[in-house]
Structure 1
Amino acid sequence: MLLNLLVLNVFIMFCSWLLVTYNQRAGLVDVAWSFSIALNVIIAAWVMETAPLLVRVFLGVFSGIWFLRLTWHLLRRYANETKEDTRYANMRRAMGSYQHLGFLAFFMFQAGLVVLFSYPMLELLSIPVQQWNDWTPYAVLIAGLIMLLALIGESTADQQLYRFKLDPQNRGRTLDRGLWKYSRHPNYFFEWLHWFAYPVLGLAAGVYGLWLYPLLMWLFLYYITGIPFSEQQALAHRGDNYKDYQRRTSMFIPWPPKE
C-alpha cells in the first residue's frame, strides 16, 4: 500500500511539475501536496480492512475533509495570484538555468513528504482490530472534537484573511480583527492542533510514537516553512504597520493582545 501510494504521489507531483513548467507558477505544489494526502488517506481507509470500521470511517471522512478543505483553500489562493509566490520566485532565481530540473527534484521531494505526513493515518489504519481496546469509541470522539475545533478555527482564520485581502483599501495594512487579533498566525495554530487528533486516537491501540507528529509539525511551522517566511514577507511589505502588530499580538498561540 505504501509503495502504491508513493507511486500515486509521484504521478500527481510530476503532472503538477509539467504544468508549472508551462505557467511558471510553482505555488501549485502546495495544492498538489494537500490533495495527495487527502487521496492517500481516503484510498487507504477504503482499501485497508485491518483496523475497526469506526476508525476507518473516522479517518477516511474527517481526515479526508480536512485535507480537501485545505486543498480548496490553497487552490483558491493560487487562482487569485497574479504572480508567482515569492518563496518559489526566489527559488527560481537561485536555480537559474537549472530551474526545470531543480523544481522537478523539489516536486519529487514533496511526494516523499506526502508519505511522511500521511503516515499517522496509515499507521492507525494498519493496526489490527484485536489491538484496539474498549476505549476506542471515546478516543474517536475526543479526536473528532479536536479535529472539529481545528477545522472551524482554521477555516475561519483563512476566510477572514481571504476577505481582508480582497479589499483594495487594505493594501499595506495588517489584519488585526477576528482570530487575527489574538494570534499573528491562527491558521498555523489550528493546523498544528489538528495533528493532536492522531496520537490521541493511537492511545486506544497502545501506539505512542504518533506524538512525534505534533512536535514535527510545530518545528516545520515555527522554524522552517511557515512562520519565519510569513513574518519576513509581512515586514518587507508592511514595515512599521506589521512591527506594531508584532508588539501587540502573540506569534502563535491565541492570547489577548497587549494594550
Structure 2
Amino acid sequence: MDYKHLLFIALISLIACCTIMALIWLWAKKIKNAGVVDVFWALNFPVITLITFFLSNGFEPRKLIICSIFLLAELRLGIHLWQRVICHLSEEEGRYQQLRKEWGDKANRNFFVFFQFQAISNVLLAVPLFIITANPSTQISILEYIGIAIWAISFFGEMIADRQLATFKKDPKNKGKVCDTGLWYYSRHPNYFFEWLTWMAYFIFALASPCGILAIISPAIILYLLTKVTGVPNNEEQNLRSKPEAYKKYQQTTSAFFPWGKKDGKGKR
C-alpha cells in the first residue's frame, strides 16, 4: 500500500472540503442561517468519494463497490437534509440560534471555525474509504460482504426513520407532540443510530484491507459526535425547549440512542 499516495488523496480531499465550507460559510453569513452546514457536511462526502475513486490505485471492482455505497448513502443524507433546511431557509434551526446567542459578537468568527472543523471531520471520517480503495487484493473477503450487509440494514433503517419523522411532523394534529411510533418507539434517535451503524459497516469492510483497523476512527468519531456533541445533546435541548413535558416523559421511557425496549418511567425495562 502506497501511504504517501493515500496522504496525497487525503490532502486533496481536505483542501476541497475546506474550500467548500469557506464558501458555504460566506453564504450562511449572508442569509444568517448556519444550519446549511449540515447539508454540505453530508455533500462533502460525495466530493471526497469522486476524488478518491479517480486517484486511488486499488482493485477496481472493490473501488466501485465501496465508492458506490458511500456515494449513495451520503447523497441520500445530503438530499434529505437539504429538503429539511430549504423549507425554512429564512429561519435558522433552534440549536444554531442558541449558539449564535451564546457566541454573541463572535458568532460569525466561531461559525467559520466550526465550518472548517466540519470539513476536517469529513476527511477523518473518510479514512475507511481511503484504506479500502487502496487495497490491491483481487479477492473480495467475507468481511467485506458482511460490511455490505450491515450497510444495507443501516441505509434502509436511517431512511425509514427519517421518513417516519417527516410524516409525523407533516400532520397538524401532531403539533406539540413527540414522535414515538415506528422506529422512534425503540429509540429517541433511531436516525442517528443507523447513521453510526453505517460507519460501523465501513469499518468492518475495511478490516479486510491492510491497516484496516485504523478505520475504527470513523465509527468512534461519529459515536462521540452524535451522542456527546452535535447530535443527541443539541436535539434533546431543542425538544425540551419546544415541548418540555411531552419530551421529558419520552426520555423516561425510551432509549436515547440504541434501539431498545420501553422503560416503565422509573428507569426499569
TM-score greater than 0.5 by the shorter chain: yes
Contact 1:41 1:59 in 2 (8 A): no
Is 1:164 matched with 2:171? Answer: no
Is 1:32 matched with 2:32? Answer: no
Among 83, 86, 92, the alignment partner of 2:91 is: 83
Note the alpha carbon deviations across 1:140-177, whole angstroms, 9 max, x for none: 32111111100100000001111111222211100111
Mapping of residues 40-55 of structure 1, within 5 Å: 40-48=48-56, 50-55=57-62
Residue 18 of structure 1 deviates from its aligned partner by: 1.5
Contact 1:248 1:258 in 2 (8 A): yes
The amino acid that maps onto 1:17 is W
Gaps of 5+ in 1: none
The amino acid that maps onto 1:58 is I
After TM superposition, the score normalised by the length of structure 1 is 0.91
Residue 133 of structure 1 deviates from its aligned partner by: 7.6
Judged with a 3 Å threshold, the aligned counterparts in structure 2 of structure 1 residues 211 and 108 are, in CA distance, closer, same or farther, namely closer
Among 209, 216, 222, the alignment partner of 2:214 is: 209
Paired with 1:102 and 1:246, the residues of 2 have a C-alpha distance of 31
Residue 86 of structure 1 deviates from its aligned partner by: 1.7
Aligned residues: 254
Is 1:252 matched with 2:257? Answer: yes
Contact 1:42 1:61 in 2 (8 A): no
Gaps of 5+ in 2: 1-8, 265-269
When structure 1 is superposed on structure 2, of 218-227 and 81-90 the one drifting more is 81-90
Contact 2:187 2:259 in 1 (8 A): yes
Judged with a 3 Å threshold, the aligned counterparts in structure 2 of structure 1 residues 85 and 178 are, in CA distance, closer, same or farther, namely same
Aligned match of 1:57: 64
Judged with a 3 Å threshold, the aligned counterparts in structure 2 of structure 1 residues 133 and 199 are, in CA distance, closer, same or farther, namely farther
- SS state of the match for residue 58, structure 2? coil
Paired with 1:9 and 1:93, the residues of 2 have a C-alpha distance of 27
Note the alpha carbon deviations across 1:24-61, whole angstroms, 9 max, x for none: 0110111111101121023212331x221222011210
Is 1:223 matched with 2:228? Answer: yes
Among all aligned residue pairs of Structure 1 and Structure 2, give the percentage whose two residues are the same amino acid.
34
- SS state of the match for residue 173, structure 1? coil
- SS state of the match for residue 204, structure 1? coil
Paired with 2:170 and 2:53, the residues of 1 have a C-alpha distance of 38
What RMSD, in angstroms, separates the aligned Cα atoms of the two structures?
Answer: 1.8
After TM superposition, the score normalised by the length of structure 2 is 0.88
Mapping of residues 1-259 of structure 1, within 5 Å: 1-48=9-56, 50-81=57-88, 83-127=91-135, 129=136, 132=137, 134=139, 136-206=140-210, 207-258=212-263
Paired with 1:233 and 1:6, the residues of 2 have a C-alpha distance of 31
